[in-house]
Amino acid sequence: MDVQADQAGLESDPYGTVASRPGTGQGRLFSESVDTVTSFADTDQLPAVPRDGYRSPGGSTRALRIAVIAVAVAVVAAGAALGLVKAGVIGSTTTSAPPTTTAHHHTAAAAQTKAPLVTQTGTGAGSASYSVPVAAYEVTVTTTTGRSWVSIGVVGQHPIFAGILNADSSQHEILLGPSAVDIGAGGTSVTITSGKRSSTLKPLAAPFNYLFTPSH
């Protein structure tokens, strides 16, 4: 046996290169340089560094969150402003004119209610004439401490009531058109009423005659 030949076969290849991966204790025999081996290691399916064109989604997510927060703040501010307007803290730009027409109407109605219902148009010995601004009205004759003869009726017709009223009593009639009221004793009053307006008359003598004529 050729011992030298066997020793020569067992000697290491002077051109061979042993490369090992970092963190491993094993090496491989390659005829290429260590840089070539490292380049092969970098071509793994899960690269150690990001590939070109790949970006982390963290930036876009942060911008979206900021936009959502801004919109939410705007909605809350608008709702708060609306609540203040409804509560009267913030004045509204809408203005309304004062109800001058309504106030004038109420003033005119109050003045009309206080005005006398009848207007004297003539007077004579034991008589007086009055105009009434309505066609239908009420006549009430009231006695005080004594009795009195009373006649109430439409002109040209039989009296609706004719008789003696006792003391502290009254007679009430509704008339349409011209009417005549006769009173036989003093201390008696005659009240003409229409709606909320009324006029009370006191006879100047006894007996006394009243004539009421509608003006409409």
Give the model confidence (pLDDT) of 122-157 as tens digits: 999 999 999 999 999 999 999 998 999 999 999 999
**Which residues fall within 8 angstroms of residue 161, CB to CB, at 6 or more apart?**
150, 151, 152, 153, 171, 173
The amino acid that residue 63 corresponds to is: A
- pTM exceeding 0.85: no
How far is 68 from 46, CA to CA, in rounded Å? Answer: 35
Residue 75 lies in a domain: no
Contact 181, 212 (CB under 8 A): yes
- What is the count of structural domains for the chain? 2
CB 153 within 8 A of CB 179: yes
- Judge whether 62 lies within some domain: no
Three-state DSSP state, 201: strand
Confidence of residue 211 (pLDDT cuts 50, 70, 90): very high
CB 202 within 8 A of CB 179: no
**Is residue 1, in this structure, part of any structural domain at all?**
no
- Residue 131 inside a domain? The answer is yes
CA dist., res. 150 & res. 165, Å (int): 7
166 falls within a domain:
yes
Q: Is residue 52 part of a domain?
A: no
Q: Give the residue from 124, 125, 118, 115 showing the smallest Cα distance to 179.
A: 118
Question: The domain containing residue 25 runs over which residues?
Answer: 16-47
The one-letter amino acid code at 97 reads A
3 falls within a domain? no
64 pLDDT band, cuts 50/70/90, is confident
Q: pLDDT-derived band of residue 181, with 50, 70 and 90 as boundaries?
A: very high
Are the C-beta atoms of residues 160 and 153 closer than 8 Å to each other?
A: yes
The helix/strand/coil state of 90 is coil
At 175, list the tokens: 């008339």
Residue 195 counted as domain residue: yes
* Residues 212 and 192: beta-carbon distance below 8 Å: yes
pLDDT digits (tens, 9 = 90+) for 76-125: 777 776 776 666 555 444 445 555 555 444 444 444 456 789 999 999 99
Q: What is the CA radius of gyration of the chain?
A: 60
DSSP H/E element including 36? helix 34-42
Alpha carbon distance 36, 182 (integer Å): 144
Q: How many residues does the chain have?
A: 216
Q: Answer yes or no: are the C-beta atoms of 130 and 175 closer than 8 Å.
A: no
